[in-house]
Amino acid sequence: MIIKMKRGATDAQVEEVERRIIAEGYTPNTIRGVEMAVIAVIGKRPEWMIDTVESMAGVEQAIPIEKPYKLAARDFQAATTEIRLGAATLGSNDVVIMAGPCTVETRDQLLATARGVKEHGGHVLRGGAYKPRSSPYSFQGLGEDGLKLLQEARELSGLPIITEVMEPGTLDTVVRYADVLQIGARNCQNYPLLREVGRTRTPVMLKRGPSVTVEEWIMAAEYILHGGNMQVMMCERGIKTFENYTRNTLDISAIPVIKRLTHLPVIVDPSHGTGKWHLVKSMCLASVAAGADGVLIEVHPTPDTALCDGAQSLTIENFADAARAIAQVAAAVGRSVPGFEPDGSRTGAAVTRVAVA
């Protein structure tokens, strides 16, 4: 923490700040310039002190210089966290493809999607049973019935399942069915929920909140890690900006930033990130080129009848096309997509290698 005193702060004010720092167990280093004094406090980041030092007499600003997170930092663990997901390992050299409908609507819809995702090379099946909807009048998801359909789809396809958990009260139910727990963007800073998923040992995908900075997002992951669950993956899904052609602005630069600052794998959701199906493929390719460990794609057998997010869903045919292209770009940056050759064709073993984690 760097404490910048006001011009004209008195010696007594500087000393009062020094006394406070010493009282908290830190060592103040005071540097007096011609026009102002600066007090540096080096050590672990004393969160609350930043808040309160700023209200002391003579202080102009307290600037944090230490990272506020520990367990998530690359400094804490040099190797990227690996998470086994069926035939693929997130955080390894693999690029992982997760795909499926926004919402589980019917058995037919889900199984048709699962078959398509499996057939065209997806590794994980996504599907929402509990849905956060901005309107109380919109379809809110099938709940546990949706989870049961997901379980059936997993048994038939062999694909692990990722599905959203919205509140501590249904966590136990969701954990019984899910291979990966999804924390939605609007719950990115729902600390009671983060604490509870931190107590499970199921992998967690933490979506970035629409107005959450990279640092705040890592702090949200820190809550989960602090609970003892080290299998956390970060999912960039776009931030709110003034641009309104796209639903959100996908922050592709967050991929290398998260990978630099933390040891957590990074996934990108271009479907929510853009809100337009015709941008999904190119944003998948951009994400993989930028170093993403995986992508999360909305796929629907008939997007024009979807109960949710039809406009941003790929057909199965378009998904197949995107998967092939992802494999090619992955190869160009030295990665590989399990089940695909570098030229985008499928490997012979693709059909039989898939198994639940």
Give the span between the Cα atoms of 236 and 273, in whole angstroms.
Answer: 8
Q: How far is the CB of 81 from its own copies (least distance, A)?
A: 18
- Give the per-residue contact string, 114-133, with its own copies (x = CB under 8 A; - = no): ------------------xx
Nearest to 269 by CA among 289, 284, 285, 254: 284
Query: Residue 155 CB, nearest distance to its own copies (Å)?
Result: 29
**Residue 338 beta carbon to its own copies: minimum distance, rounded to whole angstroms:** 18
Burial class of 100 by CB neighbour count within 10 A (0 to 12, 13 to 18, 19+) = buried
Q: Is 146 in the site for its own copies (CB under 8 A)?
A: no
Using CB under 8 A as the criterion, what x/- string covers residues 20-39 for binding its own copies? Answer: x--------x-xxxxxx-x-
Which stretch in 110-118, 143-151, 228-236, 310-318 sits in contact with its own copies by CB under 8 A? 310-318
Name the minimum Å distance from CB 347 to its own copies.
18
Q: Of 15, 19, 22, 43, which lies in the binding site for its own copies, with binding defined by CB under 8 A?
A: 43
In the range 154-213, which residues lie near its own copies by CB under 8 A? 166-169, 186-187, 189-193, 195, 209-211, 213
The span from the CA of 61 to the CA of 86, in Å, is 50
Judged by CB under 8 A, does residue 152 bind its own copies?
no
Residues 251-270 that bind its own copies (CB under 8 A): 251-257, 260
Closest contact distance (angstroms) between CB of 158 and its own copies is 29
